[in-house]
Each structure stands twice: as structure tokens, then as C-alpha cells.
Structure 1
Amino acid sequence: MKIAAISDIHGNIYSLMKVLEDIDEQKVDLTVCLGDLVGYGPHPNEVVALIKRREIPCIKGNYDASVVDGDFTFIRNTSINSFSLPWASEEVRASNKFYLSQLPTELNYDINGVKIKFTHGSPNAINEYLFEGAENTKNVMESLEEDILVCAHTHIPSYKKFGDKTFINTGSVGKPKIGSPNATYVLIEIKEDKTVNVKVRELEYEYKRIVKDAQMLKFPGQLVSSYESGTE
């Protein structure tokens, strides 16, 4: 079985369309979204609509939760967020806020006898960063009951074995922090013999379109340039 794990779209409809097009070409059996559909980007309602239309199972991200709350509940109070949060809270339709509010904080699957947990941040907190070399990640993996943990939130894709456990981070579809504008997501193939193959997909998309849209809406220059540089 082949699974596509996507996350951190952040209102970037152009990158999402490119990634979904690639997923269709990869002939996956299941696509799972790990949240943060909104925040930062100029097209949050379009992103939510596309995820809903494709009936993609989705969990709640920390930015989704904060937009629903209209407060810095689960995000940092930075100069960019001081613009992005109120903008998104105003822009996201009430029906889409309700959809975001109802999303679960984790999803669990058993595929060919392999147990997978999907979270946005970590199993402990929606906004906990799990970097592959960090001590908290090691602790999380040591206590993990499932065979595979798939998370996101860092916007940096990674894959690492912790003993017999597998750690996977999807990276970001819509606002990468990999030093380039490219979108990333992860393909996970689980074979009948329980062999797990992981592949990070990195895709170019027309990022100049979102730059133009953000400029027209008078988004902060630092936010606009982050789409070009692939940095925070």
C-alpha cells in the first residue's frame, strides 16, 4: 500500500495543486493531510475547499487551531504572525473554521500489520517541534507504541530509524524551510511483508504566482520573500 503524507499547506493553493497532481501520478492508495491548511498564504478558503472536495483525511494543525481561536493559542507571536493570524482569522469563512475546529489531532492506521500514527507536531502537543536529531524526538520515539510516526510542523522533511521504529516528517507543501521555494511531501510504501519504504518528493511549482498575489494584498515583505527563499 502506498500512502502520500502532506502537510503545512498554509493557504498556498498553487503548491497544493501541484502536489496533488504529482500524487495522482504516483498512484497512491491513500493521501493523509497533517494539518496547517491555513495561515500565511493568501488562499486559505481555496485550500480547505480542495482538501474537502478530494475527501482527504486531515488532522488539525497548530495554525488551524489558532485561526479558529483568533488568538496566539498555539503559534508564536512573531512580527509575521502578528499580521498573518488576524488576516487569516478574518479571511477564513465561518464554515471553514467549523471544519477546522472539528478535525482530530491525530489519525491512526493499521496497514498490513504495520501501525502508523499521524500527528501535526508530536503525540504530546500539536505545536511541539520534532527534529530528527533532537532529544525530545528520541524520547517520543522510545515511548511510541506504533511502528511509524508521521509528523510535520517543522517544514523540513526527514526520515530516520529509531531502533525498530520509523520517524518521518513530511516537510511543507506551501511554505518550505529548505532553502528553496520547492514543495515537499512524503511517499510511504508498506508492503505485505511489512517492509517500509520512504521517499521524500520535492517539487517545483509556480511560486511567482503566490508572490504576486501576496504583493497585491500588501502582505509584509518578509513573508512575501520567504516564498522565494524557502526560509522562515
Structure 2
Amino acid sequence: MTLLKIGIISNVHSNLYSLMEIYDLLEKECVEFILCLGDIVGYGPHPNEVVNFIKRKHIVSIKGIYDSAVINNDFSCINEGTINSFSVNFTFMELTKNNLYYLSSLPSELIMNFGNFDIKFVHKNPYKSDQDIQEDILVCGYEHTPNKIKVGKGKCIIIPGSCGKPVSSIGGVSCGVLDISNNVYNYKILKCKHLFSKINKDMKMMNFPEILINSYDIDTY
């Protein structure tokens, strides 16, 4: 029987500490590779460190909407609020030319055929209706809360949540593991605590706006 085990992450948002914690979780699961669904940068204080980690660990990645905003240093795909006005410019100015090029070269989607399953990996669900989904498994980033949604006719939407920007409803950050054989697949969500004290210290040292710092604190935001 042919087997494949994929670790899935998304919405890292320049948070090196949580990315490292999630990576360790996935290594313990003995995944064959890790795939990132975009929004690698933005919000957090570690854009270069996160991109370098992803490249060094050979994490397969696609481009998210925040990545696109940073690459172009504009707000065509995200809103221009207080947080984003600071974050997009900070990240654009902070990233090295090599890392900006890396982000710009990422694809917007990946398609895999494994066993009996057609799988599409995207940042944001491109379909207007769940009934329009053509693949057996649609794996989406964008949403920060993990979920698994069955949409009929054996099709499924998988959402790993955010591995870098915490969600109060799950008490931290999350990722997913997709385990596939020729005929069946299993999916589970992994969660870990968010190390707010570490990233809080870095953001304050870099003079981040208080509203942005608080958005990482699941006890107050």
C-alpha cells in the first residue's frame, strides 16, 4: 500500500517562535514533507528569519495574500488599517532582496494527484460555492481557525489554521497532518501554546504599535 504523510501549515505571519514549535510537532509525526499555504510574512517581527527557516528546512510553499501585499508594498488585496499600514511597510523594508524575490517566485496553488485522490493546495478558497469544488480534497490557508468540512460527494475542505498568529478559541496556534493511502485519507489537527512573552519582547523592542502587539495576546485580544 502506498502511503503519504504531509504536514500542513499556514499563516506563519513572521512568527519564528511558533513556527519552530509547530515544526517540532510535525517532525515528531514523521511527516514526509511540510507544505505551507501562504501568509508567510506580515504582522510579526521575524520576516527574514521565518523565510530563511522555511528555505533551510525545504518547506514547500505557496503565496498568500499578505505575502502579495508585502511584495508590492501596497494594499490592493488587504485593508489599509492601523495594523496593516505599519506591518506591510515594516515587512517590506525589513526583508532582504533575496527573500522578497523568494516570496514573489512562489506559486499561488499546487495540485497533487496521489492514489485515488486529487488534492489542491491554495491560500484562499477560490470557489464561490462548496458545490463547485472539483478536487477530492481542497486544502486552504487564510482562515486562522482550523477546521475540516465535508461538502458531499466524498469531497472535503481542510483548513490547518494559523501556526503563527494565535486564535483564542483554540488557545494558541495550529497545523494539520494529512495521512493518505491509495484509497483512504485521515486528517488531524495539532495545536500548541503560543509563546507570547517571547514575541511580545521582540515587538516592543522594535517599537511595534501596541494594537499590533496585543493582537498576538490571546488573553486580551
TM-score (norm 1): 0.89
1:174 — aligned with what? 164
Give CA deviations for 1:152-171 in whole Å, capped at 9, x if unaligned.
11211110111111111110
CA separation in 2, counterparts of 1:42 and 1:60?
Answer: 19
Q: Name which of 140, 150, 158 aligns with 2:139.
A: 150
CA separation in 2, counterparts of 1:225 and 1:78?
Answer: 15
2:125 — aligned with what? 122
2:66 — aligned with what? 63
Q: Name which of 35, 41, 44 aligns with 1:41.
A: 44
Is 2:177 aligned against 1:187? Answer: yes
CA separation in 2, counterparts of 1:198 and 1:224?
Answer: 32
Is 2:12 aligned against 1:9? Answer: yes
1:26 — aligned with what? 29
Aligned length in residues: 217
3-state SS, counterpart of residue 85 of structure 2: helix
Q: What is the CA distance between 1:109 and its match in structure 2?
A: 0.8
Per the alignment, do residues 180 and 215 of structure 1 end up closer, same or farther by CA in structure 2, a change over 3 Å counting? farther
1:132 — aligned with what? none
Q: Name which of 101, 104, 110 aligns with 2:104.
A: 101
Q: Sequence identity, in percent?
A: 41
The aligned amino acid for 2:104 is: S
3-state SS, counterpart of residue 227 of structure 1: coil
TM-score (norm 2): 0.93
- Runs of 4+ off more than 3 Å: 178-181
3-state SS, counterpart of residue 61 of structure 2: coil
Q: Gapped runs of 5+ residues in structure 2?
A: none
Contact 1:151 1:169 in 2 (8 A): yes
Report the RMSD for the aligned CA atoms in angstroms: 1.5
Q: What is the CA distance between 1:219 and its match in structure 2?
A: 0.8
Q: Gapped runs of 5+ residues in structure 1?
A: 125-135
